[in-house]
Amino acid sequence: MRSKFVLAALFLAGTCPAFSQVAPSASGGGLPFVVGAGVSDFSLDFGMGRRMEGVTVWVDWNLYRAPSLLRGLGIEFEGRDIDINRPSSLSRMRQDTGDGGVIYTWRRYRNFHPYAKYLAGIGSIDFPPPFANEPLYTHTTNFVSSPGGGLEYRAFRNIWVRGDYEYQFWPNLFSRQTALNPNGVTIGASYDFRGIHRR
């Protein structure tokens, strides 16, 4: 009987280190990049109730190995082309943006990642002639800044579904000090080349 207790004690002592080990901070290797694409629905801010759709692509570079305080930081580059379902009254309308900036992703939960971002870059817009005395003025490029945020959900292993909202500032348009504020949502999916993370 005593030998059974000794064997049981030895067995428990041998398994204790296995229980005391800390789970790894991440599993899988790979590059710290995320690449994604989605469909966007935007208010043009060019007349009442006018909306168009388009395509958005993005690339994120993440600081996975940074100190814990900075681990959610990353850099995002984004391109968007709003050129689908043009209103009949805006026969030339098209809004394109290419920008980059900072993104912070809150990774407390394994499968849900809220994030906030602030991007800045160049916007290009085609539009009907806005002024009778300038009939050829139908295109301009402009500085654009874009705060936004959203939520990512892990759909399967490295594949994430993203719901994103963005509010754009296009200052000083049409040579008249006019501001334009297109805003809208993007629904898409991305692939994380880093792999599955455990935090």
3-state secondary structure the chain: CHHHHHHHHHHHHHHHHHHHCCCCCECCCCCCEEEEEEEEEEECCCCCCCEEEEEEEEEEEECCCCCHHHCCEEEEEEEEEEEECCCCCCCCCEEEEEEEEEEEECCCCCCEEEEEEEEEEEEEEECCCCCCCCCCCCEEEEEEEEEEEEEEEEEECCEEEEEEEEECEEEEECCCCEEECCEEEEEEEEEECCCCECC
pLDDT at 29: 60
Surface-to-core class of residue 1, CB atoms within 10 Å of its CB (0-12 exposed, 13-18 middle, 19+ buried) = exposed
Surface-to-core class of residue 44, CB atoms within 10 Å of its CB (0-12 exposed, 13-18 middle, 19+ buried) = buried
How is residue 154 written in tokens? Answer: 């892990």
Question: How do residues 97-151 score in pLDDT, each as one tens digit?
Answer: 999 999 999 988 889 999 999 999 999 999 887 665 677 778 889 999 999 999 9
pLDDT at 2: 43
pLDDT at 120: 98
Q: What region does 85 belong to: left with phi over 0, alpha with psi -120 to 50, or beta?
A: left
pLDDT at 14: 40
Q: Topology of domain 28-192, per CATH?
A: Porin (2.40.160)
pLDDT at 133: 64
pLDDT at 104: 94
pLDDT at 138: 85
pLDDT at 149: 97
> Which residue positions in the chain have pLDDT lower than 70?
1-30, 130-133, 174-177, 195-199
pLDDT at 61: 93
- Beta-carbon contacts of 116 under 8 Å, excluding residues fewer than 6 positions away, are 103, 104, 147, 148, 149
Domain residue limits, the chain:
28-192
pLDDT at 71: 81
Of 184, 156, 155, 152, the C-alpha closest to 76 is: 152
pLDDT at 196: 57
